[in-house]
Amino acid sequence: MRVLVLGGTTEARQLAALLADDTRFQATLSLAGRTRDPAPQPLPTRVGGFGGAEGLADHLRADDIRAVIDATHPFADRISANAEAACAAAGVPLAVLTRRPWMAEAGDDWRLVLTMDAAAKALSGLPDTIFLTVGRQELGPFLALDRRFLVRAVDPPDALPIGAVLVLDRGPYTLDREMALMRAHGVGTLVTKNSGGDATAAKLDAARALGLTVVMVDRPPAGTAPRLYTAPDAVAWLAAHVPSAIA
Ligand code: NAP
């Protein structure tokens, strides 16, 4: 039974590992092709855009896809909107596999904003050094600011704020390492998107422990597809929504 997983995340890789060993499904993983040196994947993988919602709907019909799991990043809102539209057009069931968003805890000082532009504006009055962990493609609003920046990214950004220190790292991160990095660079403010999940949460624990302010960019609005939070739940959903896949 043919299944398409829209990926580019740890959760997609976890689901791919389960589906690779599950004879009920013939699954393909789709990546956008943004990461320069992507980790090996356990499923047959296609790379590159589909050509919008229409292109994705054509792909679903041409490949006889019977269900789609959107396991893209919570901030990858265009592919998620395309998946909703394409699956509706092609009559294919869709579910979203995502991470639970982070929630502020006692001792946190979070400034919630809705966009990266608003995050840049919220820095006025907050202390340097500003630690940007927003992704290399989201640095635009910070480029012109005359502040001290520490930037962390998986791949080198095309442009950096003047004088910014760049750290290339793909994690996973630990509390001790995050605190050591923040102390070494005199970090006063952390800027992050609410990606959620465990893999990058240590920076928030470190910010709390060090008494730092966090500028938190909230998630884009979710669509209407059911939301699942673990790879096994996604496999169970697939089995339930692809009737002939039930053993
Ligand atoms: P986006 O803005 O939602 O998507 C832009 C375009 O990229 C889509 O319209 C689609 O092109 C193509 N695309 C995105 N994901 C794809 C996939 N899995 N397979 C095939 N085509 C895909 O996405 P983005 O924010 O640039 O993120 C790109 C990828 O990086 C996503 O797969 C996401 O899971 C991963 N990622 C994103 C972030 C983040 O913070 N945004 C963080 C970590 C990983 P067409 O319209 O031509 O189909």
Res 244 pLDDT > 70: no
Model-level pTM greater than 0.85? yes
Mind listing the pLDDT tens digit for each residue in 112-136?
A: 999 999 999 999 999 999 999 999 9
pLDDT band at 39 (very low <50, low <70, confident <90, very high): confident
Mind listing the pLDDT tens digit for each residue in 73-92?
A: 999 999 999 999 999 999 99
| 7 and 34 together in one domain | yes
| 145 and 226 together in one domain | no
| 127 and 213 together in one domain | yes
Cβ-based neighbours of 79, under 8 Å, separated by 6 or more? 6, 32, 70, 72
pLDDT confidence of residue 34: 85
Rounded CA gap, 198 and 11, in Å?
A: 11
| 231 and 178 together in one domain | no
Mind listing the pLDDT tens digit for each residue in 149-201?
A: 999 999 999 999 999 999 999 888 999 999 999 999 999 999 999 999 888 89
Which whole number is the average pLDDT over 11-29?
96
What is the percent of the chain where pLDDT is above 90? 90
| 239 and 213 together in one domain | no
Res 98 pLDDT > 90: yes
| 205 and 126 together in one domain | yes
| 19 and 78 together in one domain | yes
| 11 and 51 together in one domain | yes
Distance 76 CA to ligand 1 centre (A): 5
| 114 and 82 together in one domain | no
Distance 72 CA to ligand 1 centre (A): 7
**Cα separation of the two ends of the chain:** 12
Distance 81 CA to ligand 1 centre (A): 11
Atom of ligand 1 nearest to the CA of 35: 30
Which of 35, 69, 78 has the most ligand 1 atoms within 8 A of CB, as the residue to mutate? 78
Res 247 pLDDT > 60: no
| 145 and 210 together in one domain | yes
Give yes or no for a contact between 139 and 161, defined as CB atoms under 8 angstroms apart.
Answer: yes
| 159 and 120 together in one domain | yes
Which of 73, 138, 191 has the most ligand 1 atoms within 8 A of CB, as the residue to mutate? 73
- Domains identified in the chain, total number: 2
| 212 and 226 together in one domain | no
Mind listing the pLDDT tens digit for each residue in 184-193?
A: 999 999 999 9
Which residues contact ligand 1 via a Cβ below 6 A? 6-9, 30-32, 34, 49-52, 55-56, 72-73, 75-79, 82, 135
Distance 188 CA to ligand 1 centre (A): 31
Its domain, for residue 9, covers 2-100+221-245
What is the percent of the chain where pLDDT is above 70? 98
Residue bearing the CA closest to ligand 1, atom 30: 8
Residue bearing the CA closest to ligand 1, atom 12: 49
State the DSSP string of 120-178.
Answer: HHHTTTSPSPEEEES-GGG-GGGTT--S-EEEEESS--S---TT-EEEE------HHHH
| Mean pLDDT score of the chain | 95
